[in-house]
Amino acid sequence: MPQKAHEIDYRIVGDDMQVVEIELDPQETVIAEAGAMNYMEDGIAFESRMGDGSRADQGILDKLLNVGKRVLTGESIFLTHFTNTGAPGKARVAFASPYPGKIVPVELAAFGGELLSQKDAFLCAAYGTEVSIAFQKRLGAGFFGGEGFILQRFRGDGRLFLHAGGTVIRKELNNETLRIDTGCLAAFTPGLDYDIERVGGLKSMFFGGEGLFLATLKGTGTVFLQSLPFSRMADRIIAHAPRAGGRRKGEGSILGGLGDLLDGDG
């Protein structure tokens, strides 16, 4: 069966703040989240559209339903389509990661044509890839899952690029169980059973420092983990941000107070 998605080439540049450069032949297209583009060469045209364009026969009601789902996740209702329309040969467009981490290239065909990810992990994909939303059916996942409640679903046979915070760890489960901090789960194959479980007893819940609930994956499949979820990094930044009135939190009470005195805040 011929491949439905466009066959795009790429290279990843950088280490902690990476960029993926997509090479497009004439009339090839890559789709991306709004605002992800870093640079593009002459000959590339772009257009914001409602939907990924994977289904030419999709009606207006289906499009509005998909838009509504994206609104619920906090994502833009538009995806940007970049096409090589003017260059006689190859032309390149690049997309940048939004915070420190790694860009993960995924061949969807190697995962049976489907993958689930955290809702903010999508960066870009070959035209023909279906980008949709997957709601968790379990009550536990719905009420306590945090980042894991609403997932993105990708279907197709082309290349997909995800972004994960910090270091990316790939694990293969063979009829096994893996428990993960809900924010550290980046992506997984749909054959795995996903749920949210409460951590141990009350002592562990309130003093363990690992959160009240963990994501649990059971079965056989592939899991991508991220070592630094954006929510965790944001919490650390907020914790060390200046307080109201211009005073700041120091790394230690003595040094922090001394710094305030030296700055004229004491």
Full DSSP string of 105-148? EEEGGGGTTEEEEETT-EEEEETT-EEEEEE--SHHHHHH-GGG
Confidence label for 133 from pLDDT (cuts 50, 70 and 90): confident
pLDDT at res. 120: 83
- 9-228 belongs to CATH 3.60.160.10: yes
What is the identity of the amino acid at 193? D
**Strand (E) or helix (H) holding 155:** strand 150-155
Residue 14 has pLDDT above 70, yes or no: yes
Dig out the tokens for 183 from the structure: 């924010």
pLDDT at residue 159 in the model = 95
Using left for φ > 0, alpha for ψ between -120 and 50, and beta otherwise, residue 131 falls in beta
- Res 126 pLDDT > 50: yes
Residue-level pLDDT at 59: 53
- CA pair distance 145, 251, nearest whole angstrom: 31
pLDDT of 154 over the 90 cut: yes
Integer Rg of the chain from CA: 21
Q: Name the average pLDDT for the chain.
A: 79
**pLDDT value of residue 56:** 53
Q: Is the pLDDT of residue 10 over 90?
A: yes
pLDDT band (50, 70, 90) for residue 76:
low
Residue-wise pLDDT for 193-238, tens only, equals: 988 877 665 555 555 555 567 889 999 999 999 998 877 777 777 8
CB neighbour list of residue 237: distance below 8 Å, 6 or more residues apart: none
What does the pLDDT read at residue 58?
Answer: 53
Q: What is the pLDDT of residue 262?
A: 47
Q: Among the listed ranges 71-80, 168-177, 183-192, 257-266, which one has the minimum average pLDDT value?
A: 257-266
- More reliable by pLDDT, 150 or 145: 150
- pLDDT value of residue 68: 56
Sign of CA dihedral 172, 176, 179, 185: positive
12 near 104, Cβ under 8 Å? no
Residue 188 clears pLDDT 80, i.e. is over it: yes
Query: What predicted TM-score, i.e. pTM, was given to this entire model?
Result: 0.78
Instruction: Tell me the residue type at 135.
Output: F
* Nearest one of 11, 193, 42, 62 to 116, comparing CA atoms: 193
Q: Is the pLDDT of residue 61 over 70?
A: no
Tens digits of residue pLDDT in 89-115: 899 999 998 888 999 999 999 999 999
Q: Is 170 helix (H, G, I), strand (E, B) or coil?
A: strand
Of the ranges 21-30, 143-152, 177-186, 209-218, the best mean pLDDT one: 21-30
